[in-house]
Structure 1
Amino acid sequence: MTATTAAVVESGGAAFTLSPVELGAPRFGEVRVRLVAAGLCHTDLGAASGGLPFPLPGVLGHEGAGVVEAVGPGVTRVSEGDHVLLSFTSCGNCGKCRAGHPAYCATWLPLNLIGGTRSDGSSPITRDGTALGGHFFGQSSFAHHAIADERSLIKVDPDAPLDLLAPLGCGVQTGAGAVWNVLRPRPGDTIVVTGAGAVGLSAIMAANLTPARKIIAVDRVPERLHLATELGATHVVDATQQDTAEALAELTGGAGVDGAIETTGNTGVLRTAIDALAPCGTAVIVGAPPFGTEVPVDVNMMLPGRHIVGLTLGDSETQTLIPALVDLVISDRLPLQRLLTHYQFADINRAVADMNSGASIKPVLLF
């Protein structure tokens, strides 16, 4: 057993509480990682609020970065001492995994988001002999140490800045993947991104590396729209000052947008993005409202080749996409540091408050 300290959520809506916990030895296909940094994501806050059926008390965190301390049987991808980024896990054997779409793994939901255990029903985390909810995205990285699936790990250079790269595990790859893996802008395309948070701004930075002609950011916070412009948006729409539908029609001369990425989870914003599509345009749903939420669409408006696509984690094959993102961040072609605010792990609740208030776009915890 390894004794460590984790940020435990005792019940839905409770604050994070630093608590001593124990980790079992890494099992087959697992490693123990000493965390250096971990990004804070809205998905963590959704689970902490009780909005997801993740078992509590439990340990969340799914954008970890650290150093491998021990490897279990069957591990071949990493060794002790390797520096790694942590992302989601997958089975590796189902049809979607074999086809290069592990974010749509047949076991994705229980292994990552709602199960709280390994596939055999055990948790890698206990406290005073009682199992806690763990294995969140195959890692539960809000702790000084984590038992992580080998499939969650991406090896990086020992000199890579883990405190800068940790958010690549979820939010950044989601925004970038929405652009590169789904929209795939062609020369002259127009892209709109609704919501200039961490995912939306990542999408804007990614779109800026494509031949898209217009990149439109929509938000309600002027400071974020200003940042979006600095990161590559060619046009912005302040939804508190303009009608978004009218603004998009004006910016496109009535032709509509070729691609839309909706990150807010607001159903009205999603409907506006769908209605703004040009023929053959695609709307990518990233923001997740509560389960059971429905959005009406005009079926006849969809007939001219318009598409609506749901997206999880950028439809990423992590061993390919994340190393590419690492290179872009380190070369400053993807200036991720503009989004980050760093906090000591003990200040996790201040980081949560700043994220909820909008004072911080992407908090990163330091261990």
Structure 2
Amino acid sequence: MQITAALTETQGAPFTLTPLELDDPRPGEVLVRMVGSGVCHTDLIVRDQWYPVPLPAVLGHEGSGVVAAVGDGVSYVAPGDHVVLTFNSCGDCRMCVAGRPAYCDQFFAYNFAGTRADSSTPLHRESGDVHGVFFGQSAFATYAVATERNVVKVDQAAPLELLGPLGCGIQTGAGAVLNTLRPPTGSSLAVFGAGSVGLSAVMAAVVSGCTTIIAIDLNHERLELAKELGATHTIDGAADDTVAAIQELTDGLGVDYSIETTAVPAVLRRAVDALNQGGTCGLIGAAALGTEASIDMSSLLFGRSVRGIVEGDSVPRIFIPKLVQLYQQGRFPIGKLIKTYAFDDINQAVEDSEKGITLKPVLTFA
């Protein structure tokens, strides 16, 4: 079938809306009519080739839509179901079998190769094949082919156009708190970076019952939104000595937990230094491959730890519907993070995201 996709032709180039041919779903695959697609930091760093996904390619990995058709053997979803598209995984390796698909042994092959496992792609044009199945979906298109494994059925009463970011960015921030750190009621948490991922962590900290929730950012408007979403304190990362300010708010001890979302090595150091003894820092920020950071080894000796977190340690079929329920109950207001853009305004959405004007752009499809 013919679709329209936002094509990434070369490194750093603008997205160009391009007609492409999309194959019918194969056995185990699902054809989805896209309703919404979040624009994520990962899409942009892949466009810029921090991670070497082969180009030309169709990116996008926070899709939401309606199942249009299914391939042979698919039983989990049927045409008409509302779904969120999330990351892909093999389902058979030691990590997948252990219920940790975000750490699939084949994670890069299933999400960043630009092809299926057999090296084919479902996207084509007259001049040749186009790399697709980015994160098992390539959601910057009017239709996408995903797999039964990386679609998540959601309540049809929820606003489908807003749910795509639950497939990656929002589940990453929320899952870092709810799945990984699991702070007990009354805990303290500092979130470094008040973007959509960091603010999702703030909202999750409220759900968890944290009583000291500190948001750190350079953008005053984002800090005000953090307060609205439940942060008990905010710190200007440019004007203040961040670690000293956190210690002052915690009787000189530091926080029980911190989350680093910025991918800036110096910020990771502060996120660790701000911990109390026995505290844990969750590292979320995706830096360029090979980026190194300096940590005080003596500090780690006193029970402190750094924990890398991918996709919020989520099992998507379990976690994403829980987030939808929290949203429907008014306890997880993701709409406050999102601004929608028509699909053909994708480059404006990207520009607004990169300038910090919009926290979480979501493309909508007519």
TM range (shorter): over 0.9
AA partner of residue 121 (structure 2): S
Pairing partner for 1:332 from 314, 327, 330: 330
Give a deviation string over 1:147-173, Cα, whole Å, max 9, x none.
Answer: 101111111222321112111010110
Which residue does the alignment assign to 1:54? 53
Choose 245-254 or 346-355, whichever is displaced more.
Answer: 245-254
Matched to 1:141, the amino acid is A
In the alignment, structure 1 residue 96 sits paired with structure 2 residue 79: no
1:326-345 Cα shifts (integer Å, max 9, x gaps): 11112211011101100000
- 3-state DSSP class of the match of 2:207? coil
8 Å CA contact 1:11–1:50 kept in 2: the answer is no
The alpha-carbon deviation at position 207 of structure 1 amounts to 0.3
1:173 corresponds, among 163, 171, 174, to 171
**CA offset at residue 129 of structure 1?**
5.6
Rounded to whole Å, the distance in 1 between the matches of 2:268 and 2:104 is 26
Q: Tell me by how many angstroms 1:187 deviates.
A: 2.6
- Aligned position for 2:86: 87
Instruction: Percent identity, please.
Output: 53
Q: Which residue of 1 aligns with 2:109?
A: 110
Say whether residues 1:289 and 2:278 are aligned partners: no
Determine the C-alpha separation between the residues in 2 that align with 1:303 and 1:325. Answer: 36
Tell me whether 1:135 sits opposite 2:137 in the alignment: no
Residues 152-208 of structure 1: CA deviation (Å, up to 9, x unaligned) = 111122232111211101011000110011111113211000000000000000000
Q: Mean Cα displacement is larger for which, 91-100 or 345-354? A: 91-100
What RMSD in Å do the two structures reach over aligned CA positions? 0.9
Residue 246 (structure 1) shift: 1.3
Partners of 2:167 and 2:288 in 1: CA distance: 23
- Give 2:50's aligned amino acid: G
Name the residue aligned to 2:245: 247
Contact 1:31 1:150 in 2 (8 A): yes
Structure 2 residue aligned with 1:27 = 26
Shift of 1:107: 0.7
CA distance in 2, matches of 1:354, 1:296: 32
- More displaced stretch, 201-210 vs 156-165: 156-165
SS where residue 208 of structure 1 aligns? helix
Total equivalences in the alignment: 365
Number of the residue aligned with 1:15 = 14
What are the residue-to-residue correspondences of 1:155-166 with 2, within 5 Å?
A: 155-166=153-164
Q: Structure 1 unaligned runs (5+)?
A: none
Q: Counterpart amino acid of 2:185? A: P
In 2, distance between residues paired with 1:42 and 1:272? 22
Could you tell me which amino acid in structure 2 is paired with residue 340 of structure 1?
Answer: I
CA distance in 2, matches of 1:308, 1:157: 36
Matching residue of 1:202: 200
- Aligned-residue offset at 1:74: 1.4
Structure 1 runs (4+) deviating above 6 angstroms are none
Residue of 297, 305, 308 corresponding to 2:306: 308
Offset of 1:241 from its aligned partner?
1.8
Q: Does 1:149 align with 2:121?
A: no
After TM superposition, the structure 1 stretch with the greater mean CA deviation from structure 2, 27-36 or 152-161, is 152-161
Match of 2:208, SS?
coil
Give per-residue Cα distances to partners, 1:310-353, cap 9 Å, x unaligned: 11100100011000001111221101110110000000000000
Deviation digits for residues 37-78 of structure 1, max 9, x if unmatched?
101100000111122100111000001011111111111100
Tell me the SS of whatever aligns to 1:143: coil
Q: Normalized against structure 1, the TM-score is what?
A: 0.98
TM-score normalized with structure 2 length: 0.98
Deviation at 1:79?
0.7
- Between the aligned partners of 1:87 and 1:33, the Cα distance in structure 2 is 13
> In structure 1, what is the Cα distance between the partners aligned to 2:23 and 2:132?
12
Alignment correspondent of 1:352: 350
Amino acid at match of 1:305: G
Paired amino acid for 2:179: N
- Alpha-carbon distance in structure 1 between the residues aligned to 2:317 and 2:34: 20
SS of corresponding position for 2:258: strand
Structure 2 gap segments, 5+ residues each = none
CA displacement at 1:224 relative to structure 2: 0.4
Q: Deviations over 1:197-245 (max 9, x none)?
A: 0000000000001121200000001110000000010000011221111
Task: Point out the more displaced range, 179-188 or 266-275.
Answer: 179-188
Q: Per-residue deviation at 1:290?
A: 1.1
One of 250, 269, 272 as aligned partner of 1:271:
269
What SS class does the counterpart of residue 36 from structure 1 fall into? strand
Q: Which stretch shifts more, 123-132 or 41-50?
A: 123-132
Tell me how far 1:7 sits from its aligned partner. 0.2
Distance in 2 (CA, whole Å) between partners of 1:230 and 1:340 is 15
Deviation at 1:253, TM superposition (A): 1.7
